[in-house]
């Protein structure tokens, strides 16, 4: 270590760069970094060979003013070295015989020059970064702002155009449906008036015939009564010809009056996708109702068909289906609007729908068979065919793409049950029925499994 310090002579070596850096510190900080480096090179050329300026007290080589020099507290000599180990200024005695003996030391001028060079690099990088930011602001962001305005304007026009088209279509459909309802009302009203007039006239005729017969009965002498057999028979035949009044479909509005695919689709979309969309997040299968032909997952949401009958019969429960592979939901629905989605996956045989809570549970007849009684409404899929089944009557459904999920919407105020495809909100089938009691979600599966999604 001593030899190394002797080689360095423990003095600040002559460094033109130091004087250049000292002058760089006096430059205007606003100048670009490249200009500063050019002036740095000019200063290096002018300062070569110059000695210390005695009048100013500045060392032309080190760039350290005499007034700024600090002395070592321990050795009272100039702190003209830097200890890299302890990261502090030291004197030559500290490096040779003091606390920093054996440490990595560097002349102060070299250390300062290295730091200045790094600062130059940092400043250059900062300036380049600033230039990139300015370019990004002036070019990229400006272009993005223009594109944003164009895209926003186009989006607004599209929204207005779509809403206008929907509004016009809805207004036209509203007018058409109102006119249809008005015509149907007028038709039924005319039928009622006709029937009322007819039966009032029939009532008057009957009353007149009865009065005539009563008068004959009470006032005619026996000889006249004996000869009035034909007259009485004519009056009886006339009264019988009036017939019996009966109610007909002509006396009530058609059930599908006011029905519209467009209106039903918009209504369904508003319920399913609108801001007031409803759901039944607590819906799951009631374990008590699950058939022994099915297994129920631990979260009570998945039903899986068992190809082999369990070895041990389950404990008897009046709520359990014992023959058909059915299971019912745990939530009674008798008001409001409810919607839920069933993942049917690749199952080739399943039913999803609703039923009354009073649906039969025991036996292999149609009583507990979903869709084959008056207490259940289901969408059925079997071997590629889809249908809606209620009361044993099946309505084939045209399904273009096999859905892996089926949504159900029960709107109690309108007494409407709807089956739909969740991804597109396409209505698969809709039925309106005057439900007489609370309903439960109902499922059946004989292939793979079905799951209630939340």
DSSP string, 276-335: T----TT--B-GGG--TTEEE-TTS-EEEE-SS--SSPPPP-TTS-SSS-EEEBS--B-S
Looking up tokens 């030559």, which residue turns up? 92
Contact 405, 395 (CB under 8 A): no
Cα distances (angstroms) measured from residue 192 to each of 196, 202, 312: 6, 15, 64
Per residue of the chain (454 residues), give pLDDT as tens: 333 333 333 333 334 443 433 333 333 333 333 343 344 344 344 443 333 343 444 343 333 333 456 899 989 899 999 999 999 999 999 999 998 999 999 999 999 999 999 999 999 999 999 999 999 999 999 999 999 999 999 999 999 999 999 899 889 999 999 999 999 999 999 999 998 998 898 888 888 888 888 888 888 888 877 888 888 888 788 777 777 888 888 888 887 787 888 887 787 777 777 766 656 678 999 999 999 999 999 999 999 999 877 666 677 889 999 999 999 999 999 998 898 999 999 999 999 999 999 999 999 999 999 999 999 999 999 988 999 999 999 999 988 888 999 999 999 988 999 998 888 878 899 898 999 999 999 999 999 999 998 7
With left for phi above 0 and alpha for psi between -120 and 50, is residue 151 left, alpha or beta? Answer: alpha
Domains located in the chain, CATH noted = 2-128 (3.30.160.60), 129-251 (no CATH), 278-310+320-453 (2.60.120.920)
As given in the structure block, the two tokens for residue 280 are: 């039944």
Pairing of strands 88-90, 385-390: unpaired
With left for phi above 0 and alpha for psi between -120 and 50, is residue 49 left, alpha or beta? Answer: left
Question: For the chain, how many helices (H) and strands (E)?
Answer: 9, 16
Collect all residues with Cβ–Cβ distance below 8 Å to 31 and sequence separation of at least 6: 39
How far is the C-alpha of 416 from the C-alpha of 431, rounded, in Å? 6
Measured at the CA of 106, the angle between CA 101 and CA 109, to 5 degrees, comes to 140
Q: Tell me the torsion sign for CA atoms 25, 27, 30, 36.
A: negative
How far is the C-alpha of 376 from the C-alpha of 357, rounded, in Å? 10
Q: What are phi and psi of 113, to 5 degrees?
A: -65, -40
């Amino acid at each position: 270590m001593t030899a190394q310090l002797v080689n360095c002579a423990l003095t600040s070596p002559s460094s033109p760069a130091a004087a250049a850096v000292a002058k760089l510190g006096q430059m205007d900080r606003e100048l670009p970094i490249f200009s500063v480096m050019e002036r740095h090179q000019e200063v290096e050329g002018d300062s070569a060979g110059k000695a210390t300026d005695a009048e100013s007290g500045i060392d032309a080589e080190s760039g350290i003013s005499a007034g700024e020099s600090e002395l070592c507290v321990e050795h009272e000599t100039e702190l003209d070295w830097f200890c890299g180990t302890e990261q502090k200024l030291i004197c030559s005695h500290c490096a040779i015989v003091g606390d920093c003996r054996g440490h990595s030391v560097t002349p102060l001028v070299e250390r300062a020059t290295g730091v200045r060079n790094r600062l130059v690099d940092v400043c250059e990088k900062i300036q380049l970064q600033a230039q990139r930011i300015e370019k990004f602001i002036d070019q990229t962001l400006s272009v993005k702002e223009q594109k944003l305005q164009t895209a926003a304007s186009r989006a607004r026009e599209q929204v207005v155009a779509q809403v206008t088209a929907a509004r016009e279509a809805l207004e036209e459909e509203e007018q058409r449906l109102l006119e249809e309802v008005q015509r149907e009302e007028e038709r039924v009203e005319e039928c009622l008036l006709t029937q009322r007039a007819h039966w009032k006239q029939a009532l008057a005729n009957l009353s007149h015939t009865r009065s005539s017969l009563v008068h004959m009965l009470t006032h005619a002498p026996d000889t006249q009564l004996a000869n009035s057999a034909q007259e009485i028979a004519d009056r009886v035949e006339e009264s019988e010809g009036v017939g019996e009044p009966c109610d007909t479909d002509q006396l009530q509005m058609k059930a599908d009056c006011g029905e519209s695919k467009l209106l039903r689709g918009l209504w369904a979309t508003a319920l399913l996708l609108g801001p007031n969309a409803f759901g039944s997040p607590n819906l799951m299968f009631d374990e008590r109702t699950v058939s022994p032909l099915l297994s129920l997952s631990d979260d009570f949401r998945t039903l899986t068909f068992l190809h082999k009958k369990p070895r041990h019969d389950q404990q008897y429960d009046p709520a359990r289906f014992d023959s058909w592979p059915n299971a019912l939901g745990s939530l009674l629905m008798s008001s409001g609007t409810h919607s839920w989605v069933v993942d049917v996956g690749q199952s080739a045989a399943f039913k999803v729908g609703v039923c009354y809570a009073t649906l039969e549970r025991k036996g292999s007849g149609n009583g507990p068979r979903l869709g084959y009684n008056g207490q259940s409404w289901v969408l059925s899929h079997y071997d590629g065919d889809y249908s809606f089944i209620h009361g044993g009557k099946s309505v084939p459904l045209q399904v273009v793409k096999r859905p892996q999920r089926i949504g159900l919407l029960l709107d109690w105020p309108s007494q409407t049950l709807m089956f739909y495809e969740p991804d597109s909100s396409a209505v698969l089938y809709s039925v309106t029925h005057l439900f007489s009691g609370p309903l439960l979600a109902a499922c059946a599966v004989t292939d793979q499994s079905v799951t209630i999604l939340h």
